[in-house]
Amino acid sequence: MSFLDQVEPLKQSALAELRAAPDLAALEQARVNYLGSNGRFTALMKQLGTLSKEEKPAAGKAVNGAKVELEASLVARRGELELKAAMPTEPTDFTLPGRRRVLGKLHPLTQVTEDIVRSFRKIGFVVADGPEVEGEYHCFDALNTPADHPARDAQDTFYLAKAEGGMQNAESGPQPSTLLRTHTSSVQIRVMEKQPPPVRIIVPGRVYRRDNADATHNPTFHQVEGLYVDRNVTVGDLKGTVEFVFKELMGPETRIRFRPHYFSYTEPSFEIDFSSALTRKMGKEWLEIAGCGMVHPQVFENVGYDPEVWTGWAFGFGIERIAMIRYGITDIRLFYENDVRFLRQF
Ligand code: DAH
């Protein structure tokens, strides 16, 4: 049989075998039989070299054409068989309901924090933050809080163990203590040390106190601090801002009132009460919600701001407390238990 006469029958039998392969393994076997290095088609191709100059062009064309066809057929059959292998073997009921995807959601404290931040952003405040492990200076001294203030007592504040040999040093005196910040007010100092006035920041963050956990206390909780420094800032600005934000957070009919109070870093200082449908639901007209005041001139001195030029106000309040009032939650510890039956509700 001439060379050319062999090409077509061999191609036909190869195509038949490839197309009939029932699975991927059989297909691979058919490929090896014809196109593998010892395959029948490969053997035919090897004979090309033995042909005469006259026979070669036609024979080469026929063989190469057949090879292209075989390879196309191999790829097509492989695609079919792969699809077949991926199909379910059991019959499928496409009318069954789909599997529901369980979506997570933000923790209620995160939601309240984001609401607070969103309200303040509307009036030009930016978010700042600072370290939770603080020095006594930023947490207390720079805020004009004297060494004998009760908040500084080891009963109330988590002090961190000092490094070996760091307790007392003959030349430098007692080493400053490291502690877990008891309030976000330390960030007021950190920000003012870093930038010149004006300042318009809010600081959401975690704080720590040596409280035993009960329905209204937890050793770690969250606060939002606010600080506004500019020329000619007044208590009127403070009141207007607080009123705007609490109306946003607690509803448009919310009222606020200021009561005189004492904080070492503000003068005058106030406690803020608010009244709304939420407080009445809790059986009270007014609920205490925040502390605030006009920044004490000594605090400005401590960060290098001239108190004759710059004025400002600051406030701080607890995020848990806002969330508890808003959602009617009566035990603060629920926020930290990560029980999805609780968390799902918000
Ligand atoms: N730091 C106070 C606290 O933890 C809250 C506070 C009161 C912050 C008055 C202030 C302020 O910035 O001016 O209870």
pLDDT (tens digit per residue) in 111-148: 999 999 999 999 999 999 999 999 999 999 999 998 88
Does the CB atom of residue 293 touch ligand 1 within 6 A?
yes
Distance CA 112, CA 102 (A): 23
Alpha helix (H) residue ranges in the chain: 3-20, 24-35, 40-47, 56-86, 108-122, 136-139, 186-194, 235-250, 277-281, 297-303, 319-327, 340-343
Check whether 101 has a pLDDT greater than 90.
no
pLDDT band at 172 (very low <50, low <70, confident <90, very high): low
pLDDT band at 166 (very low <50, low <70, confident <90, very high): very low
The residue with greater pLDDT, 283 or 174, is 283
pLDDT band at 213 (very low <50, low <70, confident <90, very high): very high
Q: In this structure, which residue's CA is closest to atom 4 in ligand 1? A: 183
Q: What integer pLDDT is reported at residue 169 of this predicted model?
A: 47
Cα–ligand 1 centroid distance for 53 (angstroms): 100
Distance CA 165, CA 148 (A): 25
Q: In this structure, which residue's CA is closest to atom 10 in ligand 1? A: 315
The token duo for 306 is 């001239």
Cα–ligand 1 centroid distance for 181 (angstroms): 13
Q: Where are the domains of the chain?
A: 3-86, 108-343
Q: What integer pLDDT is reported at residue 168 of this predicted model?
A: 47
Q: What integer pLDDT is reported at residue 164 of this predicted model?
A: 53
Does the CB atom of residue 315 touch ligand 1 within 6 A?
yes
The residue with greater pLDDT, 63 or 162, is 63
pLDDT band at 88 (very low <50, low <70, confident <90, very high): confident
Q: What integer pLDDT is reported at residue 155 of this predicted model?
A: 85
Distance CA 256, CA 246 (A): 8
Q: In this structure, which residue's CA is closest to atom 6 in ligand 1? A: 316
Q: What integer pLDDT is reported at residue 174 of this predicted model?
A: 55
Distance CA 62, CA 205 (A): 79
The mean of the pLDDT values for the chain is 92
Task: Choose the CATH number for 108-343 among 3.20.20.70, 3.30.930.10, 3.40.50.300, 3.40.50.9100.
Answer: 3.30.930.10
Task: Report the predicted TM-score, pTM, of the whole model to 2 decimal places.
Answer: 0.71
Q: What integer pLDDT is reported at residue 171 of this predicted model?
A: 53
Does the CB atom of residue 205 touch ligand 1 within 6 A?
no
Q: Which residues contact 161 (CB under 8 A, 6 or more apart)?
A: none
Residue carrying structure tokens 């060494």:
147
